[in-house]
């Protein structure tokens, strides 16, 4: 597909995720800089596989799947992992299903806290890899957020591991923050900003 000419605001991109929290966060991170089409709006309900051992490969699998299902629409996806130093990078690429199926944010946190019960090193980071397919070309953007894992949950907002993660430089857990506050630190926001910058530059150079 050709790039819509004048600016990024007139572009539309399908966001290849079934995680509604991610849709809300990406929409908040991007604002009105470009139009995001959710899978629901695109009429796509198929499960998207994420069988690989790296965030990058899984992100690419998701965007390629939606690219094919949508007959070649521009789209992007992201894969995110929580990497805990004292657990040698776990749960990492397995973050969504750390405590097995069916996916449960609560059981994942229980398992994480149990595995870290004797850890004095609480260092961890969220890492997001965005995979963008634009005009049949593939691009990647990464964002990380370093922080600490709490010994117990704090706050009720957000999703996933947010109740036990305090980003460096903050006093609150992600769950205690508004979405705007989380965006000041967020791995996802950093990766999204890189994609927007890339799209703006691409259009300027077209």
Tell me the closest approach of the beta carbon of residue 4 to ligand ITT, in angstroms.
25
Tell me the closest approach of the beta carbon of residue 182 to ligand ITT, in angstroms.
7
Nearer to ligand ITT, 21 or 202 (CB): 21
In this structure, are residues 79 and 58 in contact, taking their beta carbons and an 8 Å threshold?
yes
Closest by alpha carbon to 25, among 200, 194, 199, 181? 181
Q: Is 79 labeled as catalytic in the residue annotation? A: yes
Helix (H, G, I), strand (E, B) or coil at 94: coil
Q: Of 74, 79, 121, 162, which residue is the catalytic one?
A: 79
Nearer to ligand ITT, 50 or 90 (CB): 50
What residue is closest to ligand ITT based on CB?
A: 160
Closest by alpha carbon to 59, among 142, 137, 182? 142
Tell me the closest approach of the beta carbon of residue 198 to ligand ITT, in angstroms.
20
> Under the rule (CB under 6 A), what is the footprint of ligand ITT?
17-19, 22, 48, 50, 79-80, 82, 95-96, 105, 108, 126, 158-162, 174, 188
How far apart (Å, rounded) are the C-alpha atoms in residues 152 and 66? 37
Before 102, cis peptide (omega within 30)? Answer: yes
Nearer to ligand ITT, 79 or 176 (CB): 79
Nearer to ligand ITT, 14 or 118 (CB): 14
Tell me the closest approach of the beta carbon of residue 6 to ligand ITT, in angstroms.
30
Distances (CA, A) of 40 to 68, 108, 129, 160: 16, 26, 22, 21
Closest by alpha carbon to 158, among 80, 42, 53? 80
Residues whose CB falls within 8 Å of the CB of residue 193, separated by 6 or more in sequence, listed in order: 29, 143
Just list the catalytic residues: 79
């Amino acid at each position: 597909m050709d790039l819509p000419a004048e600016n990024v605001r007139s572009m539309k991109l399908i966001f290849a995720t079934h995680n509604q929290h991610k849709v809300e966060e990406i929409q908040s991170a991007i604002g009105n800089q470009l139009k995001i089409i959710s899978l629901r709006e695109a009429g796509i309900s198929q499960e998207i596989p994420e069988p690989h051992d790296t965030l990058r490969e899984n992100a690419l699998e998701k965007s390629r799947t939606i690219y094919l299902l949508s007959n070649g629409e521009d789209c992007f996806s992201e894969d995110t992992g929580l990497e805990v130093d004292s657990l040698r990078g776990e749960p990492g690429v397995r973050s969504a299903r750390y405590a097995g199926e069916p996916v449960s944010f609560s059981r994942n946190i229980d398992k994480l806290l149990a595995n870290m019960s004797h850890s004095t090193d609480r260092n961890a980071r969220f890492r997001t890899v965005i995979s963008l397919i634009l005009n049949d070309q593939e691009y990647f953007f990464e964002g990380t957020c370093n922080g600490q894992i709490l010994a117990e949950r704090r706050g009720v907002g957000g999703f996933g591991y947010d109740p036990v993660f305090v980003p460096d430089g903050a006093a609150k857990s992600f769950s205690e923050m508004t979405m705007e506050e989380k965006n000041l630190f967020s791995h996802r926001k950093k990766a999204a900003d890189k994609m927007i910058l890339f799209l703006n530059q691409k259009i300027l150079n077209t």
